[in-house]
Amino acid sequence: MSKVSERQLERYPLYLNHLIALRDSGVTTISSPAIAKALKLSEEQVRKDLQVVTKSEGKPKLGRDINELIDDIKSFLGYTSKKSAAIVGVGHLGGALINYKGFEDFGLNIVCGFDIDSKVVGKSINNKEIYSIYQMANKVEELGIEIAILVVTSEVAQQVANMLVNAGIKAIWNFVPVHLNINSDVVVENINIASSLAILEHKLKTKEIDE
Amino acid sequence: MSKVSERQLERYPLYLNHLIALRDSGVTTISSPAIAKALKLSEEQVRKDLQVVTKSEGKPKLGRDINELIDDIKSFLGYTSKKSAAIVGVGHLGGALINYKGFEDFGLNIVCGFDIDSKVVGKSINNKEIYSIYQMANKVEELGIEIAILVVTSEVAQQVANMLVNAGIKAIWNFVPVHLNINSDVVVENINIASSLAILEHKLKTKEIDE
């Protein structure tokens, strides 16, 4: 499998989104230059990105079949292979995520939640059972959970991550604003909502001072 | 105000988080090298980052007062000045975000939601009224809304962003995986959850193929 950079990977959901919107409005074929123009990217970049995911060459003037391209990007990103995932930490954000139905579009099937709080353990949210984190090892195997969506507090994030690694999880999607030390081949991808908000608020503050 | 890079800004929430955890466990002073070690950053980088946000010099061997440093970072990021925000698009993710109580820690006060769907307009979620997007111009002024948290569908994102700009919004925190064209001095910060998930899933797929 050819190596692609993270910057490049970040663009595929943008392509996908744009192509689905076009298809839904009745478009059947699309060219790289048209995509480049709409998304404000260079034609060269779009052409290279698409070559990685699709074997379809596209016809001169007509471009590529839009449905084929959509399927190729989804398959490349792994959205077409269903994977079981669990929400680890069912607090404010975890509780919101366990209710979020959009994950299915990305091939993620949220099968359960884990928490340590006896007030939520044993209950169900959105038809997903909440198990104790001490049942993690059993449940990861029993339910075939591959991906953990980590939304615990900062204080316990490393400890819970270690438990997940020991339980045999394959990937951790980390929403906690801490650096996780994982000495294994478990995939870790960080999404830092707080950092994004910090950038927005700082830009806003700087602008107001400059005015 | 000194210019700082986005990469640098992204680190402050990590510092803040680490410092709050330390303070809550009874630590009263902290040195840059200790922070650097805990967060796996270089001492030089931490020293430079902290110099930007605090005037406190820190005492040799003891380091800086941890409460002072926490306050300085919060103030630098703008978390101490309360700002009114609205959730624009109260679907799956928007509905989750309007229920999320953690925004208060970042100085964000979610005052209301906006949607176009007559099934939700006029209702309240978590005590926040949902207004029609056609009331946007009035409500932004009346309620002093500075920040829009944009979680509408891709198809209407640009159109709704234009409405927000016209309504006098100061900043858009964009959760929609589209490129927004904003020809004004409105601050736009993108957070792309889909791209982060795409990176995770692709890494996981690549790893499985390599094995």
User: Which of helix, strand or coil describes residue A108?
Assistant: strand
Structure tokens at B54: 């605090």
Q: pLDDT grade, residue B54 (50/70/90)?
A: confident
Question: CB B78 to CB A154 under 8 A?
Answer: no
- Is the same domain home to B89 and B191? yes
Q: Tell me the pLDDT tens digit for each residue of A6-58.
A: 888 888 988 998 898 889 889 999 999 999 998 889 999 999 999 999 877 77
Tell me the HSE value of B23 on the side-chain side, using a 13 A CA sphere: 14
Q: Are A23 and B156 in contact (CB under 8 A)?
A: no
Report the share of chain B in percent with pLDDT over 70.
98
CA distance A146 to A113: 13
Q: Tell me the pLDDT tens digit for each residue of B115-172.
A: 999 999 999 988 999 999 999 999 999 999 999 999 998 889 999 999 999 999 999 9
| Chain A residues lying within 8 Å of B97, measured CB to CB | 96
Average pLDDT for chain B? 89
Write the ipTM.
Answer: 0.81
Q: pLDDT grade, residue A118 (50/70/90)?
A: very high
Q: pLDDT grade, residue B2 (50/70/90)?
A: low
- Is the same domain home to B139 and B106? yes
Residue A195's CB is within 10 A of a number of other CB atoms, namely 21
Q: Looking at the domain assignment, is residue A16 inside a domain?
A: yes
Give B154-196 as a DSSP string: HHHHHHHHHHHHHHT-SEEEE-SSS-----SS-EEEE--HHHH
Q: Quote the DSSP letter at residue B108.
A: E
Q: Are A77 and A13 in contact (CB under 8 A)?
A: yes
Query: In a mutagenesis test of the A interface, which of B5, B187, B210 is the best target, namely the one with the most A β-carbons within 10 Å?
Result: B187
Question: CB B194 to CB A106 under 8 A?
Answer: yes
Of the residues B42, B77, B112, which one is the last residue of a structural domain?
B77
pLDDT at A63: 85
Residue with tokens 């605090």: B54
The answer to which of A161-165, B24-28, B108-112, B157-161 has the lowest mean pLDDT is: B24-28
Q: Looking at the domain assignment, is residue A92 inside a domain?
A: yes
Question: CB B201 to CB A107 under 8 A?
Answer: yes
> Chain A residue closest to B53 (CA)?
A202
Question: CB B100 to CB A78 under 8 A?
Answer: no
Q: Tell me the pLDDT tens digit for each residue of A132-149.
A: 999 999 999 999 999 999
Q: Which of B126, B176, B157 is nearest to A102 (CA)?
A: B176
Burial of B159 (0-12, 13-18, 19+ CB in 10 A): exposed
Of B170, B179, B202, the CB nearest to A9: B202
pLDDT at B209: 66
Q: How far is A63 from chain B (nearest CA, A)?
A: 22
CA distance B23 to B45: 22
Q: Which of the two residues, B195 and A75, has the higher pLDDT score? A: A75
- Is the same domain home to B125 and B64? no
Q: How far is B1 from chain A (nearest CA, A)?
A: 7
Query: Cβ neighbours of residue A84 under 8 Å, at least 6 residues apart?
Result: A109, A111, A143, A144, A145, A146, A147
Q: Are A155 and A93 in contact (CB under 8 A)?
A: no
What is the domain-level CATH number for residue B144?
A: 3.40.50.720
| Chain B residues lying within 8 Å of A78, measured CB to CB | 201-202, 204-205
Length reported for chain A: 211
pLDDT at A1: 47
> Chain A residue closest to B177 (CA)?
A14
User: Which residues span the domain enclosing A33?
Assistant: 6-77
- Is the same domain home to B65 and B93? no
Q: Which of the two residues, A116 and A60, has the higher pLDDT score? A: A116
Q: How far is A16 from chain B (nearest CA, A)?
A: 10
Tell me the HSE value of B197 on the side-chain side, using a 13 A CA sphere: 23
Q: Indicate if the pLDDT at residue A104 is higher than 80.
A: yes
Q: How far is A58 from chain B (nearest CA, A)?
A: 24
Burial of B56 (0-12, 13-18, 19+ CB in 10 A): middle
Domain total in chain B: 2
Question: CB B202 to CB A77 under 8 A?
Answer: yes
